[in-house]
């Protein structure tokens, strides 16, 4: 019994219907969960179950957001100034870490001499949480831009180096052999075989570095700054303005997510051959 | 052969050379800057030992270290247990992923350190907010890695489970979890280092004891030897955690290599 | 005396179509055959088309688009303890030792440790892996891994054993050895075996009957009963004649 044309069509349509229904079902659940969460939050805050000074409602936070766009209180900066300061410092530290860390990691992973010399030093620096650098760097360099950038640099530097190092060490030996059989020098093999094959791990390392930069930035701003979202949160606490604090948290989360998303898109584009 | 031996010797000496160079430059740097901004290794050791005669906030260096350790281990225990359980749930059930998973996703982009001020406002600077913060900081890596590890299972291994008559739970226990173990471990490694960072940050921003407090205190009174000493101990413990985890991994997963 | 042979497995008009985004792909087309109790049946067909899907439908890990499967007289669609399977490669759980892999089915059946280990030890010895009970798959050669797979399939005492190109990934030498050993194991413990391969020589060496499948989409081209006594001589003229006969009817595959 063969499956005839009409029956085939019907089977295919049934199959498609079930698939679409499944995707739809889960998307709805996700959206509903998020709506319920915000709704409950608003409800709890409105009903005064918790004091509104402790837990501001989503609506209140939105209000504060609008207010901060034009007012400097209570931390002394406009919201835009804070956001700009945070982005500036973190991205500057992040990019320098990538530019220095990735090539360094790649070279360390490829050339044994560099490996044996630099890896021990790296292993000593690695376990120091970036936040612990803050007092040392600040005492040494003051509370300026360069101190913060350096701290963020440390936090982003480590994953860049580690991942590049591991990535290039995992280069397929067969490819290296092929390259050498064709007479390529060690350096050429490094450039043409090692580096491209380590790209996925390098990208992962950079992604981690981005996350680290952003969260270390917050810490650095909380402890030693006069502008920025972390600073804004700290000021919010000092003036007992929970709404400012939560606004800062939300903005930090949102900006972090946006940066992460932008990078993931870049990653997908660069690795589209995968 | 001679060349080979010579090369090997160089490779063995190099690490020692560079580490010694590092320590020497530390000493040189501290001497050059007058020993106050950047004390040399000797002064750091002396300062640490001094806490045995004159305790800070009622504790010697060991006391503060133990407090920080206690906090981080409590928090890590909670986040690993909950992270793995919730990771299993979210990784194996699409409904839970769409509901519980989405709910948790709302909080994930917020760096744990950003939670510190609100936690202090709500709970003060006692033990509870610190443990909560550590959990906040270390929960996500282990949960996400567990969830993704669960989804890594090969269809053929699941088929094997089905064919040989395993119930859903048996298949989870005998096949899915062991496959996910490497991912789970990777998540735990990240969680541990996150947790250690968070406890430090939390102690730096509001505590009465702990290594983070020592850092802040030293900073406040310009006692850089204390600061450096605390930082070095912090780094050392961090390295210890890494080492112990590596050993545990080798023990629990003998089939990996 | 005519022996009335019971039909262990009945397959009728089995078909499988895979639906992609905008196209459909028919891999199994209207396949029908019987499997008799205690026989060594070989499904022979060119590579890369439908054979594994066919087996998966038999054992119940793949759904049917149409057609019927009867096992032991009853309609069947899900895995059952009456059937077990040996795979081509990578089917041993890498994080379990040989013993733990072999006892998997019995463990799922909630059999106690002592008795189940005894049973498994018997089969580990039967396939020649005595001494390797505590080794991990990555420590074993390809042939040894396949033997462990066979032990695992035998340990649950199935009526029907399905084998999906189990020796396909082995080198020629090991392959010949395994074919011989499989027949020896089968002589010691008779099961109904459904064995899939793309190798004509292997098929003629092992089978009581060969069902020749076409290339994509797979359907039954011909059925060849093989009456030669076992173990067979690869260079026996009758063996070679049958081989040639089958060869002329096989579809070439890409």
SS3 assignment for chain B? CHHHHHHHHHHHHHHHHHHHHHHHHHHHHHHHCCCCCCCCHHHHHHHHHHCCCCCECCECHHHHHHHHHHHHHHHHHHHHHHHHHHHHHHHHCHHHHHHHHHHHHHHCCCCHHHHHHHHHHHHCCCHHHHHHHHHHHHHHHHHHHHHHHHHCCCHHHHHHHHHCCCCHHHHHHHHHHHHHHHHHHHHHHHHHHHHHHHHHHHHHHCCCCCHHHHHHHHHHCCCHHHHHHHHHHHHHHHHHHHHHHHHHHHHHCCCCC
| Residue found by looking up tokens 């501001």 in the block | A56
C249 is written with which tokens? 């009817």
Which residues in C lie closer than 8 A to residue B163 (C-beta atoms)?
A: 59-61, 79, 83-85
* Domain span at C145: 89-157
How many beta-carbon pairs below 8 A join chains B and C? 58
Note whether C96 and C52 are same-domain residues. Answer: no
By CA distance, what is B162's nearest residue in C?
C79
Is the CB of C29 inside 8 Å of chain A's CB atoms? yes
B18 shares its domain with B62? no
Three-state secondary structure call for residue C136:
coil
Element (H, E) at C118: helix C113-126
Helical residues (DSSP H) of chain A, grouped into ranges: 5-46, 58-70, 79-110, 112-125, 130-141, 145-169, 173-181, 186-189, 195-223, 229-238, 242-270
Instruction: Please tell me the predicted confidence (pLDDT) of residue B86.
Output: 95
- Quick check: A34 and B102 CB within 8 A? yes
Interface of B with C in 103-142 (CB under 8 A): none
Which residue in the set A130, A222, A256 is minimally distant from B109, CB to CB? A256
Is the domain of C132 the same as that of C113?
A: yes
Residues B56 and B178 in one domain: yes
Query: With 80 as the cut, is the pLDDT of residue A2 above it?
Result: no
On whether both A150 and A69 belong to a single domain, the answer is: yes
Q: What is the pLDDT of residues A125-136, one digit of tens each?
A: 888 888 888 888
- Shared-domain flag, residues A144 and A221: yes
pLDDT of residue C247: 87
Is there a single domain that holds both residue B17 and residue B50? no
B76 with B181, same domain? yes
Tokens representing residue C45 in the block = 């067909």
Q: Confirm or reject contact between C109 and chain B (CB < 8 A).
A: yes
Structure tokens given for B78? 């909670």
Residue C144 and residue C173 in one domain = no
pLDDT at A90: 92
DSSP character at residue A228? S
pLDDT exceeds cutoff 60 at C254: no
d(CA B36, CA B28): 13
User: How confident is the model over C80-128, as pLDDT tens digits?
Assistant: 888 999 998 878 999 999 999 999 999 999 999 999 999 999 999 989 8
Are B4 and B124 in a shared domain?
no
Q: Does A236 touch chain B (CB under 8 A)?
A: yes
Distance CA C69, CA C77 (A): 7
Per DSSP, A2 falls in state P
Whether residues A146 and A246 share a domain: the answer is yes
Q: Are B197 and A155 in contact (CB under 8 A)?
A: no
> How high is the pLDDT of residue A72?
81
Among the residue ranges A152-156, B33-37, B239-243, C208-212, the one predicted with the least confidence is B33-37
Q: How far apart are CA C221 and CA C230, in angstroms?
A: 25
Phi and psi for A55 in degrees, rounded to 5? -125, 95
Q: Which domain holds residue B20?
A: 1-32
- Closest residue to B109, CB basis, from A119, A248, A253: A253
Closest CA to A274 of A210, A216, A164, A199: A199
Q: Are residues B169 and B46 in the same domain?
A: yes
State residue B110's pLDDT score: 92
Please give the mean pLDDT across all residues of chain B: 89
Do A75 and A160 lie in a common domain?
A: yes
- Total domains in the fold of chain B: 2
Q: Name which of C55, C93, C163, C165 to mutate to probe chain B: the one with the most chain B Cβ atoms within 10 A of its Cβ.
A: C93
Share of chain A above pLDDT 70, in %: 97
Instruction: Report the C-alpha gap between B229 and B232 in whole angstroms.
Output: 5
Is the model's pLDDT at C194 over the cut of 90? Answer: yes
Residues B6 and B84 in one domain: no
Query: Which residues in chain B have Cβ-Cβ distances shorter than 8 Å to A234?
Result: 117
Residues A18 and A92 in one domain: no
In chain B, what residues touch C60 (CB-CB under 8 Å)?
162-163
A15 and A143 fall within a common domain: no
Does the distance separating the beta carbons of B167 and C93 come in below 8 Å?
Answer: no
A11 interfaces chain C, CB cutoff of 8 Å: yes
**Same domain for B181 and B157:** yes
Do both C179 and C136 map to the same domain? no
Q: Which residues on A lie below 8 Å from B103 (Cβ)? A: 33-34, 37
**C105: which chain B residues are within 8 Å (Cβ-Cβ)?**
164-165
CA angle A40, A41, A43 (to 5 degrees): 60
Residues in A touching C15 (Cβ below 8 Å): 3
Do residues A253 and A123 share a domain? yes
Contacts of A132 in chain B (CB under 8 A): 200, 215, 230-231, 234-235
Where is C243: in which H helix or E strand?
helix C237-249
CB C213, CB C220: distance < 8 Å: yes
| Residue in C with minimal Cα distance to B255 | C95
Q: How confident is the model at residue A36 (pLDDT cuts 50, 70, 90)?
A: very high
Same domain flag for B26 and B48: no
User: Using the 8-state DSSP alphabet, how is residue C250 labeled?
Assistant: P
pLDDT in tens, B218-257: 888 888 888 889 999 999 999 999 999 999 999 988 887 5
Question: Which chain A residues are closer than 8 Å to C66 by Cβ?
Answer: 1, 3
Residues B126 and B170 in one domain: yes
Residue A68 pLDDT:
87
C103-to-A154, B125, B166, C117, C194 alpha-carbon distances in Å = 51, 54, 12, 7, 22
What mean pLDDT comes out for the span B206-216? 89
Please state the domain count of chain C. Answer: 2
Question: What's the whole-number mean pLDDT along residues A228-256?
Answer: 91
In a domain, B257, yes or no: no
Flag whether pLDDT at A192 surpasses 50: yes
Residue C209, both tokens: 């009957």
**Nearest CA-CA partner of C215 in C244, C249, C240:** C249
Residues B22 and B106 reside in one and the same domain = no
For residue C18, the chain A residue with the least C-alpha distance is A12
Once rounded to an integer, what is the mean pLDDT over residues C38-43? 92
Q: What is the CATH number for B96?
A: 1.10.3720.10
Q: A266 and A219: one domain?
A: yes
Q: Are residues B135 and B214 in the same domain?
A: yes
Residues B73-92 have a mean pLDDT of: 94
Please answer whether residues C40 and C206 qualify as being in contact, where contact means their C-beta atoms are separated by less than 8 angstroms.
Answer: yes
- Are A64 and A39 part of one and the same domain? no
Report the domain count for chain A.
2
Share the mean pLDDT of chain A. 88
Interface of A with B in 143-202 (CB under 8 A): none
Residue A185, burial from CB neighbour count under 10 angstroms (0-12, 13-18, 19+) = exposed
Are A187 and A218 in a shared domain? Answer: yes
**Nearest-by-CA chain B residue for A260:** B109
Q: How far is A9 from chain C (nearest CA, A)?
A: 9
In this structure, the answer to whether residues C57 and C168 fall within a common structural domain is yes
Instruction: Report yes or no: B255 at the C interface, CB cutoff 8 Å.
Output: yes
Contact A13/C at CB under 8 A: no
Torsions phi, psi for A78 (to 5 deg): -70, 155
Contact B114 A215 (CB under 8 A): yes
By Cβ distance, the residue of B160, B170, B254 closest to C91 is B160
Residues of A in contact with B114 (CB under 8 A): 215, 218, 230, 233, 248-249, 252-253
In three-state secondary structure terms, A138 is helix
Task: Give all strands of the β-sheet with C74-75 in edge-to-edge order.
Answer: C24-36, C7-19, C66-71, C74-75
Instruction: Give the CATH number, domain containing residue A73.
Output: 1.10.3720.10
- C152 and C194 in one domain? no
pLDDT at A4: 62
* Cα pseudo-dihedral B78, B79, B81, B85, rounded to 10: 140
pLDDT confidence tier of residue B74, bands split at 50, 70 and 90: very high
B164 to C91: CB separation less than 8 angstroms, yes or no: no
Q: Which residue among C91, C136, C137 places its CB closest to the CB of B156?
A: C91
Q: Domain containing A236: what range?
A: 59-270
Q: Are strands C74-75 and C7-19 parallel, antiparallel or unpaired?
A: unpaired
Lowest mean pLDDT across A120-124, B234-238, C32-36, C54-58: A120-124
Tell if the CB–CB gap between B178 and C96 is shorter than 8 Å: yes
* Domain shared by C43 and C11, yes or no: yes
Taking the CA of residue C30 and the nearest CA in chain A, the distance in Å comes to: 6
ipTM > 0.90 (yes/no): no
Task: Identify which of A219, A254, A257 has the shortest CB distance to residue B201.
Answer: A219
> Cβ separation of B164 and C104 shorter than 8 Å?
yes
| pLDDT for A9 beyond 80 | no
């Amino acid at each position: 019994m063969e499956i005839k044309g009409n029956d085939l069509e019907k089977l295919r349509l049934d199959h498609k219907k079930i698939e679409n229904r499944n995707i739809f079902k889960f998307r709805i659940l996700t959206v509903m969960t998020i709506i319920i969460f915000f709704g409950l939050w608003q409800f709890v805050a409105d009903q005064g179950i918790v004091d509104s000074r402790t837990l501001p409602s989503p609506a209140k936070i939105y209000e504060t957001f609008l207010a901060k766009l034009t007012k400097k209180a209570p931390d002394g900066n406009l919201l835009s100034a804070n956001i700009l300061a945070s982005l500036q410092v973190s991205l500057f530290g992040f990019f320098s870490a990538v530019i220095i860390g990735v090539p360094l990691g790649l070279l360390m992973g490829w050339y044994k001499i560099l490996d044996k010399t630099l890896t021990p030093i790296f292993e000593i620096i690695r376990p120091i949480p970036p936040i612990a650098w803050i007092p040392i760097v600040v005492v040494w360099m003051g509370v300026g831009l360069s101190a913060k950038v350096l701290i963020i640099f440390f936090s982003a530097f480590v994953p860049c180096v580690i991942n590049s190092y591991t990535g290039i060490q995992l280069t397929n030996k067969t490819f290296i052999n092929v390259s050498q059989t064709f007479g390529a020098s060690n350096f050429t093999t490094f450039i043409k075989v090692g580096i491209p094959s380590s790209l996925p791990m390098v990208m992962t390392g950079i992604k981690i570095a981005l996350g680290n930069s952003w969260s270390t930035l917050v810490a650095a701003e909380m402890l030693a700054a006069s502008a920025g979202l972390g600073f804004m949160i700290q000021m919010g606490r000092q003036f007992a303005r929970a709404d400012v604090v939560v606004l800062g948290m939300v903005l930090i989360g949102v900006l972090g997510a946006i940066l992460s998303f932008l990078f993931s898109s870049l990653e997908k584009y660069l690795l589209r051959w995968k | 052969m001679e060349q080979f031996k010579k090369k090997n010797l160089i490779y063995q000496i190099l690490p020692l050379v560079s580490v010694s160079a590092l320590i020497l430059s530390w000493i040189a740097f501290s001497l050059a800057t007058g020993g106050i901004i950047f004390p040399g290794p000797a002064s750091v050791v002396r300062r640490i030992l001094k806490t045995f005669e004159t305790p800070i906030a009622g504790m010697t260096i060991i006391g503060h270290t133990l407090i920080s350790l206690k906090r981080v281990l409590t928090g890590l225990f909670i986040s690993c247990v909950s992270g793995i359980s919730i990771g299993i749930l979210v990784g194996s059930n699409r409904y839970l992923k769409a509901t519980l998973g989405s709910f948790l996703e709302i909080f994930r982009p917020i760096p744990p350190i950003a939670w510190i001020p609100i936690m202090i406002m709500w709970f003060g600077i006692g033990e509870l907010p610190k443990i909560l913060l550590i959990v906040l900081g270390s929960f996500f890596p282990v949960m996400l890695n567990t969830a993704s590890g669960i989804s890594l299972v090969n269809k053929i291994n699941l088929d094997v489970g089905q064919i040989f008559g395993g119930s859903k739970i048996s298949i989870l226990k005998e096949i899915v979890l062991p496959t996910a173990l490497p991912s789970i471990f990777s998540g735990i490694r990240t969680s541990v280092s996150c947790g250690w960072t968070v406890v430090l940050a939390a102690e730096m921003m509001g505590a009465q004891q702990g290594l983070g407090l020592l850092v802040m205190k030293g900073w406040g009174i310009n006692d850089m030897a204390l600061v450096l000493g605390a930082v070095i101990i912090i780094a050392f413990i961090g390295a210890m955690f890494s080492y112990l985890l590596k050993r545990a991994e080798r023990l629990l997963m003998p089939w990996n290599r | 005396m005519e022996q009335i042979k019971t039909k262990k497995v009945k397959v009728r008009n089995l078909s499988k179509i895979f639906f992609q985004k905008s196209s459909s792909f028919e891999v199994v087309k209207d396949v029908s055959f019987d499997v008799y109790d205690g026989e060594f049946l070989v499904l022979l067909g060119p590579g890369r088309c439908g054979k594994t899907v066919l087996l998966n439908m038999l054992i119940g890990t793949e759904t049917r688009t149409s057609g019927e499967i009867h096992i032991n007289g009853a309609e069947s669609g899900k895995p059952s303890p009456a059937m077990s399977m040996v795979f081509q490669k990578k089917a041993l759980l890498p994080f379990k030792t040989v013993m733990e892999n072999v006892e998997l089915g019995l463990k799922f059946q909630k059999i106690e440790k002592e008795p189940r280990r005894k049973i498994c030890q018997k089969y580990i010895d039967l396939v020649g892996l005595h001494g390797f009970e505590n080794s991990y798959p990555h420590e074993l050669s390809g042939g040894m891994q396949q033997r462990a797979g066979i032990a695992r399939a035998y340990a649950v005492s199935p009526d029907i054993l399905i084998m999906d190109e189990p020796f396909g990934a082995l080198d020629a030498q090991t392959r010949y050895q395994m074919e011989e050993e499989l027949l020896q194991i089968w002589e010691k413990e008779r099961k109904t075996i459904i064995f899939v391969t793309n190798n004509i020589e292997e098929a003629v060496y092992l089978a009581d009957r060969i069902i020749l499948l076409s290339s994509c989409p797979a359907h039954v081209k011909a059925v060849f009963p093989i009456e030669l006594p076992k173990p067979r001589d690869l260079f026996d003229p009758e063996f070679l004649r049958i081989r040639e006969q089958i060869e002329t009817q096989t579809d070439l595959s890409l």
